[in-house]
Amino acid sequence: MSTLRFHAVKESMSRKPIEIQEIEGKRSALFGKKVFNSNALQNFMTKEAYNAIQDAVDHGKKIDRAIADQVASGMKAWAIEVGATHYTHWFQPLTGITAEKHDAFFEPVGPGKAIEKFGGSQLVQQEPDASSFPNGGIRNTFEARGYTAWDPTSPAFVMGTTLCIPTIFVAYTGEALDNKTPLLRALQSIDKSATEVAQYFDKNVKKVIATLGWEQEFFLIDSALAASRPDLTLAGRTLLGHASAKGQQLDDHYFGSIPARAMSYLRDLEMECLQLGIPIKTRHNEVAPNQFEVAPLFEEANLAVDHNSLLMDVMQKVAQRHDFKVLFHEKPFAGINGSGKHNNWSLSTNTGVNLLAPGKTPMSNLQFLTFFINTIMAVYEHADLLRASIATAGNEHRLGANEAPPAIISVFIGNQLTNVLDHLEKVSDGKLTPEEKTDLKLNIVGKIPYVLLDNTDRNRTSPFAFTGNKFEFRAVGSQANCAVPMTVLNTIVSEQLRKFKIEVDALKNKKGMKKDDAIFNVLREYIKKSKKIRFEGDGYGDAWVKEAKKRGLNNIKSAPEALKARVSKETVKLFSDHNVMNKVEIEARHEIELEEYLLRIQIEGRVLGDIATNHVIPTAIKYQNVLIENVRGLKEIFSATEYKKNAAEQLQLISEISNHISNLKSKVNAMIEERKKANVLSNTQKKASAYADHVKPYFDEIRHHSDKLEMLIDDELWPLTKYRELLFTK
Ligand code: ADP
Ligand code: MG
């Protein structure tokens, strides 16, 4: 074993789980302790300021300056009590991760005197001097003219000694420079469209919120082992490594007992999360060794997105205490399950009704079917845009890779609802007969069970599945900022609901149809039209790829190709109509996403070339020299015939090693040539495609020869920590 590898393995094996101060039973008392939630608001704020915040949260009302000063003063008093010394505007630039710039409350006010200062102006708006955040050309980078502005709908929290204030990040010219702003706009749009449709069924509905419950998958790897691999350190995934003899084939990790060290980490993480108001509920092992999942209770979508970003940050911080590195990459290990982030999504009214849950009466079920069918229709109409919302370099390894949702967007709804839709498809054109209505009410719509059976026995291979009372968008990558897919999903459903209302109203007003008849008529057409997006079979099988092709559904595997839908004419119109993003914002994002893609592939290519040339080949030569020495010795001590017999295997090995070395070197050179060609392209779309189509294909070829060498060369010499060590050291 090479020295580095030996020490890494030794270090990781000597680790003991950290004792976590368990406050079991009192977890509810921990919940939200470090959040400026309504409890804290009431204790630290005037009634007037409290009401103003509630109004802002519930009705999007603006908070005026005098009130902002009161809020700031209450927030400061609370934060200092919880241990804060600094404050920061906390935001989500287009890099996908979170950003902070800390300022102290402390301010000198004269010789030898200082106070803790934090006023309305510091709360409401800041200029983070963010000249090097990606902006896709919206703002001249040297100008740094962007500012952050307080988002009162997501409560402030204290992390460590810093008061963090969730904010949006926009250019002075008004364009969004972050992921949160378009999301908030999309949520506003769906609130309006869904409320109008919900009022067909209940006039008391005044507001509809989108709900999101994400499930975060990840790998936990000992930090010494991770640090011993340049690819994990720089690219977040392994670029080389022969499969371990034992992988996940025994299924012995999935839902098994959590190893002690990981358990200690997860406990620690949960305590931190609870204090920060992230309602983590479940934790379990995932399919692959050292792979885990945490999931919270669902929340309002904007808050849920913030909580996921916060969680990912907290996870890395807590991991340091436990000598772990968290791998969020979608595909850290070849041949082993990747990681996703299921986005469970639904719509909920101010009257407390989940619009995607079947109800107990025919009327509430008609409401359910309306939202259910409109969502399917939205996915059908905008499948390519939905696919584009999850297109990244990391997720490209998952989508279509036989063990993950395919790159083909389809919707699974289960047996029972398929039967219901099959019936509704036959509803007569125009006014319904009284008999038909009774039949529908009593036998079809009225019979949808409150709890759906398929819910338990559901299809895990579908990228977009209905799971009883919500849709589950499963194709989202584990590194993703949920704001991106959530912005798209909420916008397309909003658009669909808007169209639905126009069509239903037209039938009512122009044709004099009753409301129910009109709704049934429009839904019938939607069911027919969107039928080909529905798929109940095995999404991982080859048969589906063929079938989807026959149906005319797209199967876009390459991320740069998929991203084209982000800037299509239809997309620009859609986002502009809903005031979610204008053309400049859309194009800027597209540019950033392509740039991020190609930079990641570029980094991977460089790291791979470096490891192959500077680690693998020299090691192979070293071992080959040992063999050559051995063969020379054999020649010396044996007769010619005996030598021939005894040296045969060694000679064979020497030539196999030579063969792999020369292939490795020539493939690396060819890859570098392709990189050079790609780098001179000035069009970002073309450049990203060149990286996808001409650079990336070399990765597997290079890996193939290195992995073969790993199996031929003395384990003592092999420099890279092996898969079995990365995955099975506990
Ligand atoms: P699974 O079997 O996939 O773990 P669960 O029922 O436990 O299914 O739910 C998974 C996630 O779905 C959780 O984060 C949960 O909070 C979320 N979820 C449940 N109901 C809703 C809803 N109405 N809207 C959004 N998310 C929801
Ligand atoms: Mg799930």
- What tokens does 89 get? 């505007």
373, 500 contact by CB (below 8 A): no
Architecture of the domain spanning 596-728? Up-down Bundle (1.20)
pLDDT value at 325 more than 90: yes
Cα separation, 433 vs 439, in Å, equals 10
Tens digit of each residue's pLDDT (9 = 90 or more) over 406-441: 799 999 999 889 999 999 999 988 888 888 888 888
Give the pairing of strands 146-150 and 125-126.
Answer: antiparallel
d(CA 720, ligand 2 centre) in Å: 35
pLDDT value at 404 more than 80: no
pLDDT value at 327 more than 60: yes
Cα separation, 676 vs 238, in Å, equals 24
- What tokens does 649 get? 């295997």
At 250, the pLDDT band (50, 70, 90 cuts) reads low
Ligand 1 atom having least distance to the Cα of 469: 23
CA 338 to chain centre: 12
Ligand 1 atom having least distance to the Cα of 297: 16
d(CA 161, ligand 2 centre) in Å: 35
Give helix 515-529 / helix 362-381 axis angle, nearest 10°: 40
Residue 308 CB coordination number (10 Å): 23
Mean pLDDT over 220-248 rounds to 92
Out of 241-255, 256-270, 332-346, pick the least confident: 241-255
- What tokens does 137 get? 């050309």
**Following DSSP, what letter does each residue of 25-87 receive, concatenated?**
T-HHHHTTTTB--HHHHHHHS-HHHHHHHHHHHHH-PPPPHHHHHHHHHHHHHHHHHTT--EE
pLDDT value at 141 more than 50: no
CATH 3.10.20.70 domain span(s) along the chain: 31-178
Q: What are phi and psi of 454, to 5 degrees?
A: -60, -20
For residue 345, which ligand has an atom nearest its CA? 1
Q: What are phi and psi of 374, to 5 degrees?
A: -65, -35
128, 171 contact by CB (below 8 A): no
Cα separation, 222 vs 730, in Å, equals 8
Cα separation, 179 vs 484, in Å, equals 7
pLDDT value at 314 more than 90: yes
At 456, the pLDDT band (50, 70, 90 cuts) reads very low
Burial group, residue 589, by CB count within 10 angstroms (0-12, 13-18, 19+): buried
Side-chain half-sphere of 686: how many Cα atoms within 13 Å?
A: 7
d(CA 482, ligand 2 centre) in Å: 15
CATH 1.20.120.1560 domain span(s) along the chain: 596-728
For residue 308, which ligand has an atom nearest its CA? 1
d(CA 471, ligand 2 centre) in Å: 10
The label of the residue with tokens 């008609």 reads: 366
647-665 in b/e form (b: 16+ CB < 10 A) is beeeeebbeebeebbebbe
Name which residue sits closest to atom 26 of ligand 1, judged by CA.
213
Q: What is the SS3 string spanning 455-505?
A: HCCCCCCCCEEECCCCEEECCCECCCCCHHHHHHHHHHHHHHHHHHHHHHH
Residues in contact with ligand 1 by the CB-under-6-Å rule are 211-213, 215, 295-298, 344-346, 354, 469-470
CA proximity to 612, closest of 563, 551, 537, 667: 667
Pocket test for ligand 1, best of 216, 344, 457, 476 (most atoms within 8 A of CB): 344
pLDDT of the residue at 379 = 98
Cα separation, 1 vs 8, in Å, equals 11
At 443, the pLDDT band (50, 70, 90 cuts) reads confident
Pocket test for ligand 1, best of 298, 348, 353, 460 (most atoms within 8 A of CB): 298
Tens digit of each residue's pLDDT (9 = 90 or more) over 683-721: 999 999 999 999 999 999 999 999 999 999 999 999 999
**Following DSSP, what letter does each residue of 242-303 receive, concatenated?**
PPPSSSSTT--STTSPPPHHHHHHHHHHHHHHHHTT--EEEEEE-SSTTEEEEEE--EEHHH
d(CA 213, ligand 1 centre) in Å: 6
At 350, the pLDDT band (50, 70, 90 cuts) reads very high
pLDDT of the residue at 93 = 85
Q: What are phi and psi of 300, to 5 degrees?
A: -55, 140
d(CA 340, ligand 1 centre) in Å: 15
What are the residues whose beta carbons fall under 8 Å from the beta carbon of 553, sequence distance 6 or more?
A: 383, 408, 409, 410, 532, 533
Ligand 1 atom having least distance to the Cα of 344: 26
Mean pLDDT score of the chain: 90
d(CA 318, ligand 1 centre) in Å: 25
Give the pairing of strands 299-300 and 280-285.
Answer: unpaired
Pocket test for ligand 1, best of 217, 470, 471, 472 (most atoms within 8 A of CB): 470
d(CA 566, ligand 2 centre) in Å: 26
CA proximity to 305, closest of 389, 183, 470, 165: 183
pLDDT of the residue at 57 = 82
As a whole-number percent, the residues of the chain with pLDDT over 70 amount to 93
Task: Give the DSSP H or E segment for 217.
Answer: strand 208-222
Name which residue sits closest to atom 2 of ligand 1, judged by CA.
456
The label of the residue with tokens 């098994």 reads: 256
CA 250 to chain centre: 28
- What tokens does 350 get? 């101010």
User: Which residues does residue 534 pair with via DSSP β-bridges, in sequence order?
Assistant: 411
DSSP designation for 19: P
d(CA 560, ligand 2 centre) in Å: 27
What are the residues whose beta carbons fall under 8 Å from the beta carbon of 650, sequence distance 6 or more?
A: 627, 630, 631, 634
Ligand 1 atom having least distance to the Cα of 298: 16
d(CA 473, ligand 2 centre) in Å: 9
Cα separation, 284 vs 270, in Å, equals 13
Architecture of the domain spanning 31-178? Roll (3.10)
CA angle 654, 660, 661 (to 5 degrees): 85
Q: What are phi and psi of 109, to 5 degrees?
A: -125, 20
Architecture of the domain spanning 187-238+247-571? 2-Layer Sandwich (3.30)
CATH 3.30.590.10 domain span(s) along the chain: 187-238+247-571
d(CA 480, ligand 1 centre) in Å: 18
d(CA 284, ligand 1 centre) in Å: 15
For residue 212, which ligand has an atom nearest its CA? 1
Tens digit of each residue's pLDDT (9 = 90 or more) over 179-213: 999 999 999 999 999 999 999 999 999 999 999 99
- What tokens does 427 get? 């509803």
Ligand 1 atom having least distance to the Cα of 354: 23
Ligand 1 atom having least distance to the Cα of 346: 24
Ligand 1 atom having least distance to the Cα of 348: 23
Burial group, residue 671, by CB count within 10 angstroms (0-12, 13-18, 19+): buried
pTM of the model: 0.94
Q: What are phi and psi of 79, to 5 degrees?
A: -60, -40
Which of the residue ranges 20-29, 138-147, 644-653 has the most confident prediction, judged by mean pLDDT? 644-653
d(CA 311, ligand 1 centre) in Å: 17
pLDDT of the residue at 122 = 84
Name which residue sits closest to atom 17 of ligand 1, judged by CA.
213
Q: What are phi and psi of 111, to 5 degrees?
A: -60, 120
Side-chain half-sphere of 377: how many Cα atoms within 13 Å?
A: 23
Name which residue sits closest to atom 13 of ligand 1, judged by CA.
213
689, 560 contact by CB (below 8 A): yes
3-class DSSP assignment, residue 221: strand
Ligand 1 atom having least distance to the Cα of 215: 14
For residue 457, which ligand has an atom nearest its CA? 1
d(CA 215, ligand 2 centre) in Å: 7
Side-chain half-sphere of 250: how many Cα atoms within 13 Å?
A: 8
Considering only residues 89 and 26, tell me which one the structure prediction assigns the higher pLDDT: 89
Cα separation, 673 vs 687, in Å, equals 14
pLDDT value at 107 more than 90: no
Tens digit of each residue's pLDDT (9 = 90 or more) over 460-475: 889 999 999 999 999 9
pLDDT value at 26 more than 70: yes
Extended strands (E) in 51-201 = 86-90, 102-104, 106-110, 113-116, 125-126, 146-150, 157-159, 162-171
The label of the residue with tokens 């640090």 reads: 227
Helix segments in 612-639, DSSP class H: 617-637
What are the residues whose beta carbons fall under 8 Å from the beta carbon of 210, sequence distance 6 or more?
A: 187, 190, 300, 301, 345, 346, 347, 348, 486, 490
Name which residue sits closest to atom 6 of ligand 1, judged by CA.
467
d(CA 341, ligand 1 centre) in Å: 12
**Following DSSP, what letter does each residue of 325-386 receive, concatenated?**
EEE--S-SSTTS---BEEEEEEEEETTS-BTTS--SSHHHHHHHHHHHHHHHHHHHHTHHHH
pLDDT value at 21 more than 80: no
d(CA 305, ligand 1 centre) in Å: 15
